[in-house]
Amino acid sequence: MKALSTIRTIAPLLLSSCLAATSQAAEVTGKRLVAADQEPGNWMSTGRNYGEERFSPLASINDENVDDLGLAWTYKYELDRVVEATPIVVDGVMYTTGAYSMVYALDAKTGRELWRYDPKVWRGIQGRGCCDAANRGVAVWGGKVFVGVYDGRLEALDAKTGERVWSVNTLIDPDRNYTITGAPRVVKGKVIIGNGGAEFGVRGYITAYDVDSGKQAWRFFTVPGDPAQGDETDTITMIRKTWHGDDYWKQGGGGTVWDAMAYDANLDLLYIGVGNASFWNPALRSEAKGDNLFVSSIVALRPETGEYVWHYQTTPGDAWDYTATQHIIVTTLPIDGEPRRVVMQAPKNGFFYVLDAATGEFLSAEKFGHVTWAKGIDPQTGRPIVDWEAADYWTNGEPKVVFPGSQGAHNWNPMSYSPDTGLVYIPQQVTMEYFEPLEKPPVTRPGVPNLGLVVPKVPETLDAVEELAGVYRGKLQAWDPVKQEERWSQPYEHIANGGTLSTAGNLVFQGTADGRVLAYAADTGEQLWEQSVSSGVGAGPISYEVDGEQYVAFNVGWGGAFPITFGALAYRTHVVNDSRLYVFKLNGKAELPPIKRRKIELPNPPPVEADEATLAEGAELFALHCGVCHGLSAMSADIIPDLRYLTPQEHEDFLPIVFGIRANKGMPPFGGILEPKQVESIHQYVIERAHHWRSELLKQDAKRSEADKAGAQ
């Protein structure tokens, strides 16, 4: 049937007038991207310009009229799953992605669908990767749309029709747990993409392909491989000296390039952000020795050849999952009274860095978040002054609570820089982690994170969740990168809030984890506008112009690492999966869709019909096969969906659902992976968790009743 086709197109006569005016859609070139500021109405790359400032020069919407924003149009995604993409807008057409790397082309003025492309990712693949079936967007160049597919493919689509032009497999080892969630970039006719999967035992690298043919142009490895196979380059020989022992390469090493990239056309340098080490535990990874290059580093390469130029390591010998894959911005700042081309980053580790863009020279760094692992950065060496007493959990096996935690002081959610105010706008957050080392390396299994740590115990009561919630919190932070200090901030109750957009209208836009989109005055931080939306927001918004009218667009769809791994805390946002694209303009009159929020009601589960051994087996199988989507904690939010609230019919259909009858709705099929007896063990564990949740809610009701009585007296 046509509705089920991989590619859905419309007749040429129905294409928008902007497409009809040109012979080819998305005719983006390097010249156009370098001169992006001369086309303020377009948003032609994920960061708008090559330096990834995420600043719009448009000012029709400004701090004096932003309160008049209304909905222009909205688009409902096919799957109610995580949405993290930054949309691209070229000549009146918007290109964006939803879950499982599905690509959509929309009329940017009306929201009318022009085509969609489904790469047909096997839903079960999600169990082999981190952090939900996310995709952060596409790249466009020369009439093509490029998408990195979750299962490791890089594909080129015809921008006019959505038809696939070419497809390449980027994976160096199909038996390793590689994924792609990041947006590609295109520089000098090369489409560049990295991979994810560090916690699951992979070796990091980034690859460039020819935009016309898909032929591989170069590949740059970020960590050393099997020494028996020899070193691919002199750079690998150099970094191998920073690793120790005989087994570091077997786990993979990590160092995946799963998100951040930026480019400086004048210097002709491509900057990549490199992820965490694997194992996290350095004693099991590299005998607790060495810097382990290039993990947790910014690396500068030549985009035509992949040649190494320089690097700066934010967290030498990373032991805390402090990725440097967070958003990189390249711009010019007044340093010591002189304009200087710089690279800026606010990675997970809680320090804001400013580096010389040409050489990687360390210029400055200060804490922008709550940090206990290091006392500061040595101004002479640029290396962290580690507080070993507070942060070393591996030498004596003594567990430690460390700030920030694995969610970071800033995660993937993009920041923005306004040249008008000179400020960087960061989705900052406070997180912590309990690190307890394993004495021996864990058994490596597909789809299971291999951290070299004891999995921490999770809250079993709502009281414990509320206590933990007092620690985890977020804010929008305006940071002065020259003075290295906070200028202003706006607090949020939750972490994992959306990326930011700054504009020439003296505005900063951001979405929140609890389902709001907001605008603030960029200079003072005063809140000027707020609108509730259908789900939580993680993605970065954009602004563009069509026919002289300015628009602001937000991708909305809750999911990702935080709600999956910190389900109990994420539950407090009360958002549900209702994935949509919202586009606003001044005096927009479109009708807002219903605002959905989670209602905490008593579940009514069937009785538990299993002994303790069966429940223990179910808990282990759930963590192994189900937790990556439905949450790893006993107090999980189960956002995809909440399994504690299954209907009687869903309990009846539990086995066929697990075996695949909802695969078309995003539920991975486990037929052939799990035996029916194992599925029933999982089912009984889910039922037991539902009863536990019911008990917790009844306790909370009783506490409120007692408080009400005490207040009445």
Per-residue 3-state assignment (H helix, E strand, C coil) for 423-451: EEEEEEEECCEEECECCCCCCCCCCCCCC
152 contacts: CB under 8 Å, gap ≥ 6: 169, 170, 171, 178, 179, 180, 195
* pLDDT in the model for residue 23: 45
What residues are annotated to the active site?
A: 321
The residue range of the domain holding 575 is 2-586
If you compute the radius of gyration of the chain from its CA atoms, what whole number of angstroms results? 24
Where is the domain boundary, 545, 570, 586? Answer: 586
Shared domain for 567 and 642, answered yes or no, is no
Top pLDDT among 323 and 630 is at 323
Q: Does any domain span residue 171?
A: yes
Shared domain for 237 and 203, answered yes or no, is yes
Q: Does any domain span residue 601?
A: no
Quick one: tokens of 632?
């790893």
CATH number at residue 414: 2.140.10.10
Please tell me the distance from the alpha carbon of residue 514 to that of residue 272, in angstroms, as a whole number.
31
Q: Is 90 exceeded by the pLDDT of residue 661?
A: no
Q: Does any domain span residue 599?
A: no
From residue 529, give the alpha-carbon distance in Å to each of 474, 508, 540: 19, 10, 17
Q: How many helical (H) and strand (E) elements, i.e. helices and strands, does the chain have?
A: 13, 38
Q: Does any domain span residue 591?
A: no
Quick one: tokens of 606?
């069937």
Q: Does any domain span residue 593?
A: no
Shared domain for 305 and 271, answered yes or no, is yes
Q: What is the pLDDT of residues 73-94, one digit of tens each?
A: 999 999 998 999 999 999 999 9
Shared domain for 582 and 619, answered yes or no, is no
Where is the domain boundary, 551, 586, 621? Answer: 586
Q: What is the pLDDT of residues 170-215, one digit of tens each?
A: 999 988 889 999 999 999 999 999 999 888 889 999 999 999 999 9
DSSP classification of residue 43: B
Shared domain for 638 and 580, answered yes or no, is no
Give me the number of domains the chain comprises. 2
Please tell me the distance from the alpha carbon of residue 391 to that of residue 471, in angstroms, as a whole number.
18
Shared domain for 441 and 492, answered yes or no, is yes
CATH number at residue 633: 1.10.760.10
Handedness of CA 645, 651, 655, 660 (dihedral sign): negative
Q: Does any domain span residue 423?
A: yes
Shared domain for 237 and 362, answered yes or no, is yes
Shared domain for 480 and 547, answered yes or no, is yes
Handedness of CA 635, 640, 645, 647 (dihedral sign): negative
DSSP collapsed to 3 states, 522-586:
CCCCCEEEEEECCCCCCCCCEEEEECCEEEEEEEECCCCHHHHHCHHHHHCCCCCCCCEEEEEEE
Q: Does any domain span residue 285?
A: yes
Residue that has been written with the tokens 């009439």 in this structure: 143
pLDDT band at residue 128, thresholds of 50, 70 and 90? low
Q: Is 50 exceeded by the pLDDT of residue 16?
A: no
Task: Return the biggest CA–CA distance within the chain.
Answer: 79
Q: Chain centroid to CA 568: how far? A: 20
Please tell me the distance from the alpha carbon of residue 20 to that of residue 15, in angstroms, as a whole number.
7
pLDDT band at residue 478, thresholds of 50, 70 and 90? very high
Where is the domain boundary, 569, 586, 603? Answer: 586
DSSP classification of residue 266: T
Shared domain for 304 and 356, answered yes or no, is yes
Please tell me the distance from the alpha carbon of residue 617 to that of residue 178, in angstroms, as a whole number.
28
Shared domain for 618 and 569, answered yes or no, is no
Q: Does any domain span residue 379?
A: yes
Q: Is the pTM of this model over 0.85?
A: yes
Shared domain for 234 and 366, answered yes or no, is yes
Shared domain for 628 and 526, answered yes or no, is no
